[in-house]
Amino acid sequence: MAQTVAVPSGAKSGPVFGRGELARRRREVVVAYLLLAPAVLLVFGVLAYPLGWLVGVSLTNSSVLDTDTKFVWLGNYAAFLRDAEFWRGSANTLGYLAITAILKMAVGVGIALLIARPFPGRPLVFVATFLPWAYPGGLGAVGWYWFLIPPLHSSYSVFMGDLHLFFDSRLGPGTWGFISLIAFNVWRGGSFVGIFLLAALNGIPEDLFDYATTEVKSAWRKFWMVTVPLLRPFLALATFLSLIGAAVDLGNVYYISGFRNVYPIVWTQAFHLALFGGQWGRAAALSLILMPMLILILFVCYRVFEPLEEDVA
Amino acid sequence: MRTTRRFLRLVQGVLLVLLAAYSIFPIYMVTVESLKTVDEDVFGSPFYVRHPSLEWYQNLFEEHEWMTHARIVTRTVPFLVWTRNTAIVFTAALAVILLSSLMAGYALGRLRPPAWRGWRRVLLATFLIPQTILFLPLYKVVFHLHLDDNLLALVLTYPMLAIPFCAWLFSVYFQKLSPDIEESAFIEGASRFTAFLRIVLPMSWPVVIAAGLFALGVISSDFMFAGVFLPNQWHQTIAAGMATMDVSLEDLSVVSGISLGGLPVLLIAALFAGSYVRGLTAAMIEGA
């Protein structure tokens, strides 16, 4: 192994250190912790109080209507679990995350495969596909909002209004808002996933694809048996990263529409409960209640993109 | 055989054109919309503008508090102030993010203190905490530090959004980067710091750009923190200002503000897109 001097291999395996080596390693560990400190402080230091507050409040019946705040332990959570409205909300949340994740993956893989090989004008198309994600999400949300749910006065308002009514009357009120939210998130996130996968395709040696191609004949089978497995860790990482984008876009659209577009999704419900209902205890519980699910997703994603965290062979 | 290949190339070409159109379409729509006069907004076509005018853009540069377009009177906004504030916040936040992530990434990927893999995962995991109502207790923190209505509030809170992934990216990059590169500098008598500054950093700039552009993407899609922490119009960033204008009712100056605010980003994206991809590849696969 070439990595004896500069990369002490940590606690895991132990090349036996001499006395001087040991002192050096100890100094190195101290330096490492010092270097790590600012990032850890900026993340956990800033998050500690808000998260602790949320957890604490979620265990009480804190509400602006009732000054007599009492500890109710897991009462808020238990009440939600018995609430049919909550189950619909969490089903919608899961559906929203799943639909956008799948669509973003599909769009992303499509984009990456389309622009991976050279063709005339490639730089231009490449920059164009980069823009949906690079364009500030907050500003893009306003653009999409104006396009899909236009103000009264614009020339396409009637057409969009008809479309709006068409969907809402057939599939229930709020459908169009939901569709526009998904469209916005997929537009943005699909570009992110696509560029991410393009970076992956650029790094995977061509031989791997060529070798596999000799084994698999049909293009369809090649895609599922060669391309997808090779891209899987990158796909998992990109999906993990764009998952939170879905929540951010949801919040942004809700915020800029003056809190009018209420989506039956757990997080907007929590928001609504807090800001308009003043029921802090229940709102905090509602915003935290999906954490177990998110942690589960986290572990699955970690398992799949583990190869990216390995040392080079 | 030859015809099928030609057919496939045609399909690819059509798909590429569609892809480019799909990517640019909403940005194009916003631009077209922002250039319309009141008349054309109501009676024109949504897809093109016949008589482009910059009148809505004038609303962004406060000469008078109110402006008249046709017979509609609209409010103006201090867009230049917002732009300056945004530039300050983004530059400061980016510097904090990149510096702390670079340090953390080097520590985790190269120096590898005990449980470095665990640290990296825990840091990355914070990325998943939904920020929906987190802003409220955060506002309490900001308020207690007397940072409300102060740009520093954003400089303090934005890093939390981007550091998890940036530190991860740097750490997997340094983990894969061959140690021989620094070793040769150590033999010459250089300290670890000098070796990092003179040799490692100059060859790592695509990764720095990848992390920086990612961070920029994350902080520029924030509306919530900016809107909540900065109530005063004269201390706002573009995102905060746009959020206070009720977009569904407000005039076209919102739209022109968007397309103006988006311009520098388009420029940055076009300049750095290539390096962004190279940086991601280097960090996730090659290590050089």
Phi/psi for B237 (5° steps) reads -90, 175
Structural domain contains residue B200: yes
DSSP structural state of residue A17: P
In this predicted structure, what is the pLDDT of residue A3? Answer: 39
Phi/psi for A194 (5° steps) reads -60, -50
Comparing alpha-carbon positions, the chain A residue that sits nearest to B126 is A43
Phi/psi for A66 (5° steps) reads -135, 110
Residues B136-143: what's their mean pLDDT?
Answer: 86
pLDDT averages per 10-residue partition of chain A, 313 residues = 42 58 89 95 91 90 78 86 87 90 94 88 89 80 73 75 84 81 90 93 82 74 84 91 84 71 76 82 88 89 88 68
Identify all chain B residues contacting A303, using CB atoms and an 8 Å cutoff.
none
| Residue in B20, B277, B279, B272 with CA at minimum distance from that of residue A114 | B20
Q: Which site among B247, B250, B252, B254 would you substitute to test the A interface, given the most A Cβ atoms closer than 10 Å to its Cβ?
A: B247
Identify all chain B residues contacting A248, using CB atoms and an 8 Å cutoff.
131, 221-222
CA B125 centroid distance within chain: 21
In this predicted structure, what is the pLDDT of residue B207? Answer: 95
The shortest CB-CB distance from A203 to any of B19, B268, B285 is to B285
- Its ipTM equals 0.89
The shortest CB-CB distance from A244 to any of B128, B220, B227 is to B128
CATH code of residue B211:
1.10.3720.10
The shortest CB-CB distance from B42 to any of A137, A155, A243 is to A155
In this predicted structure, what is the pLDDT of residue B3? Answer: 82
Instruction: Print the domain residue range for B167.
Output: 79-286
Contact A5 B242 (CB under 8 A): no
The shortest CB-CB distance from B133 to any of A141, A203, A271 is to A271
Structural domain contains residue B213: yes
- Give per-residue pLDDT as tens, B46-82: 778 888 888 778 777 766 666 676 666 666 778 888 8
Q: Are the C-beta atoms of A287 and A54 separated by less than 8 Å?
A: yes
Structural domain contains residue B195: yes
Structural domain contains residue B177: yes
In this predicted structure, what is the pLDDT of residue B174? Answer: 93
Residues 48-87 in B contacting A (C-alpha not used; CB under 8 Å) = none
* Chain A contact present for B98, CB below 8 A: no
Amino acid (1-letter code) at residue B214: F
Which range is least confidently modeled, A109-123, A185-199, B124-138, B195-209?
A: B124-138
Using alpha carbons only, give the angle B103, B105, B111 rounded to the nearest 5 degrees. Answer: 85
Residues 234-253 in B contacting A (C-alpha not used; CB under 8 Å) = 238-239, 242-243, 246-250
* Chain A contact present for B152, CB below 8 A: no
Q: How far apart are CA B271 and CA A134, in angstroms?
A: 12
Contact A196 B100 (CB under 8 A): no
The shortest CB-CB distance from B163 to any of A32, A42, A241 is to A42
Structural domain contains residue B275: yes
Structural domain contains residue B72: no
Identify all chain B residues contacting A295, using CB atoms and an 8 Å cutoff.
128
Identify all chain B residues contacting A9, using CB atoms and an 8 Å cutoff.
112
Structural domain contains residue B57: no
Number of Cβ pairs closer than 8 Å across A and B?
A: 329
Residue B104 scores a pLDDT above 90: yes
Shortest distance between the Cα of A158 and any Cα of chain B, in A, equals 11
In this predicted structure, what is the pLDDT of residue A163? Answer: 84
Exposed e or buried b for every residue in B149-173, given b needs 16+ CB within 10 A?
ebbbbbbbbbbbbbbbbbbbbbbbb
Q: How far apart are CA A129 and CA A198, in angstroms?
A: 11
Q: How far apart are CA B158 and CA B92, in angstroms?
A: 10
Neighbouring C-beta atoms of residue B119, cutoff 10 Å: 22
The shortest CB-CB distance from A43 to any of B163, B268, B278 is to B163
Banded pLDDT at B277 (limits 50, 70, 90): very high
Give, for A252, the enclosing helix (H) or strand (E): helix A228-256
pTM: 0.89
Banded pLDDT at B103 (limits 50, 70, 90): very high
Q: Residue A50, class by beta-carbon neighbours within 10 Å (0-12 exposed, 13-18 middle, 19+ buried)?
A: buried
| Residue in A298, A262, A277 with CA at minimum distance from that of residue A97 | A298
**How many structural domains are present in chain B?**
1
Comparing alpha-carbon positions, the chain A residue that sits nearest to B30 is A143
**Please, where are the H alpha helices in A82-136?**
84-116, 122-134
Identify all chain B residues contacting A3, using CB atoms and an 8 Å cutoff.
179
In this predicted structure, what is the pLDDT of residue B93? Answer: 96
Identify all chain B residues contacting A252, using CB atoms and an 8 Å cutoff.
221, 223-224
Q: Which two tokens stand for residue A278?
A: 């003043």
